[in-house]
């Protein structure tokens, strides 16, 4: 059998467990030195005797549970012992400890202790509703006024060597470079960046990506590595299909009528509009589309907010960042299977909107955009991180 080498830190913990007196002995010794305990012993009334009892050694018990005096260092030692039971929840810790110990406001102190545990903050799953209410995008006033761009990557490589689609960017280093910014400045284009790892900021293009990917999956079943040849058809099909938010097809919203297809034809000379009538018709259609989009946004926000919760931070608060925003997607260099779910805490330096905040990130995360939404940082640091002190918050020693 191979020998297992125990790290020095763990060996020290084992020695500590062997050498230090049992918790019970420490509590009994503390009872004898605590003046409050002596007062309780002397003043136990007949009514209290149903709950408090003294044994032959004058040790105070509460319903067969050892009474712990108001010694914060001793209570901290008791609460730290569950460190070796792999950080249970506050309720589990309370149920375990109450079998042997009792003190006033015990459950509240245990809950506070768990909420301030840095390890628990990093590794425990969040079972609450997603944080932050839905913030609808501004509806453009006219056609082609607001343009979103993004990439769909990681696709099956085609025979021609393609594995990505440029839909038209959320946040890529190529386009946030100084060259790109200067180019857009010269062209008079206003760049609006989404918050980091939050595709909802560019919700329109993300929705197009989803529909386009579904179309290409259907094509891949038949054409396999020739899906790129289906792109023109997928684009045409999407633009000529009814969209619920617009209440018409995108092609119709742009040009005033559906594109001709075998199922949608028109005779020569039908619906011909010229001059001022064409402008008036276009303006009326844009107003109708604007109203449709506003109504759709209101409906979507109402439905979305039912499953979300408001969460507000203040400048100076410290928060934890979610490591894996989506299934199978990792960031900040944390890729291990058993990696912590959250990293941090990081200080909030600025509020950038209703649900977005700027964080003070360490130097090794300098390449990460420093604005995040409450959905990506649902946990506030309630304590001082007393269990872990690590210079690299993305690689805690677990």
- 268: confidence class by pLDDT, cuts 50, 70, 90: low
Average of per-residue pLDDT across 150-159: 79
In angstroms, how far apart are the furthest CA atoms of the chain?
Answer: 109
Q: Residue 379: what pLDDT?
A: 73
Whether residue 111 contacts residue 97, with contact meaning beta carbons closer than 8 Å, is answered with no
Model-wide pTM > 0.85: no
Residue 185 has pLDDT above 70, yes or no: no
Q: Residue 333: what pLDDT?
A: 55
Query: Using one digit for the tens of pLDDT, what is the confidence trace for 193-214?
Result: 555 445 454 445 566 667 777 7
Whether residue 60 contacts residue 67, with contact meaning beta carbons closer than 8 Å, is answered with yes
Average of per-residue pLDDT across 31-52: 71
Domain coordinates of the chain in residue numbers?
A: 8-115, 146-223, 308-398
Closest CA to 247 of 214, 305, 294, 303: 294
Average of per-residue pLDDT across 110-125: 79
268 versus 68: the higher-pLDDT residue is: 68
Architecture of domain 8-115: Orthogonal Bundle (1.10)
- 393: confidence class by pLDDT, cuts 50, 70, 90: very low
Determine which helix (DSSP H) or strand (DSSP E) holds 347, and give its type and residue range: strand 342-351
Distance between CA atoms of residues 244 and 253, nearest Å: 12
Whether residue 228 contacts residue 160, with contact meaning beta carbons closer than 8 Å, is answered with yes
Q: Residue 106: what pLDDT?
A: 92
Q: Residue 381: what pLDDT?
A: 72
Dihedral of the CA atoms 149, 155, 158, 160 (nearest 10)? Answer: 40
Query: Using one digit for the tens of pLDDT, what is the confidence trace for 278-327?
Result: 567 667 767 777 777 777 777 777 777 777 788 888 888 888 888 764 44
Average of per-residue pLDDT across 28-40: 79
Class of domain 146-223: alpha beta
Q: Residue 246: what pLDDT?
A: 74
């Amino acid at each position: 059998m191979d020998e297992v080498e125990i790290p020095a830190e763990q060996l020290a913990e084992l020695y500590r467990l062997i050498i230090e007196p049992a918790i019970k002995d420490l509590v009994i010794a503390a009872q004898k030195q605590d003046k409050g305990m002596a007062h309780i012993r002397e003043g136990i009334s007949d009514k209290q005797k149903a709950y408090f009892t003294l044994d032959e050694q004058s040790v105070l018990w509460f319903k067969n549970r050892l009474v712990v005096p108001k010694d914060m260092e001793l209570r901290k030692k008791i609460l730290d012992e569950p460190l070796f039971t792999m950080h249970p929840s506050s309720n589990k810790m309370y149920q375990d400890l109450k079998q042997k110990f009792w003190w006033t406001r015990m459950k509240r102190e245990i809950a506070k202790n768990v909420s301030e545990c840095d390890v628990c903050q990093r590794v425990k799953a969040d079972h609450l509703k997603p944080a932050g209410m839905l913030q609808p995008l501004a509806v453009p006033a006219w056609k082609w006024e607001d343009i979103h761009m993004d990439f769909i990557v990681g696709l099956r490589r085609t025979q021609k060597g393609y594995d990505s689609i440029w839909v038209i960017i959320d946040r890529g280093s190529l386009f946030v470079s100084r060259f790109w910014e200067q180019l857009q400045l010269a062209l008079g284009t206003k760049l609006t960046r989404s918050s980091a790892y939050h595709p909802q900021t560019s919700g329109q293009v993300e929705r197009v990506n989803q529909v386009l990917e579904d179309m290409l999956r259907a094509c891949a079943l038949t054409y396999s590595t020739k899906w790129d040849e289906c792109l023109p058809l997928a684009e045409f099909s999407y633009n000529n299909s009814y969209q619920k938010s617009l209440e018409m097809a995108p092609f119709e919203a742009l040009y005033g009528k559906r594109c001709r297809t075998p199922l949608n034809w028109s005779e020569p000379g039908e619906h011909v509009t010229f001059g001022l009538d064409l402008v008036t018709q276009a303006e009326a259609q844009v107003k109708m589309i604007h109203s449709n989009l506003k109504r759709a946004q209101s409906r979507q926000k109402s439905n979305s907010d039912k499953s979300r919760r408001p969460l507000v931070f203040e400048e100076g608060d410290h928060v934890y960042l979610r490591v894996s925003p989506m299934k199978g997607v990792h960031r900040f260099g944390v890729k291990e299977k058993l990696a912590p779910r959250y990293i941090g805490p990081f200080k909030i330096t600025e509020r950038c909107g209703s649900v977005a905040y700027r964080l003070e990130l360490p130097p090794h995360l300098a390449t990460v955009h420093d604005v995040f939404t409450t959905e990506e940082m649902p946990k506030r640091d309630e304590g001082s991180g007393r269990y872990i002190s690590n210079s690299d918050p993305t690689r805690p020693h677990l």
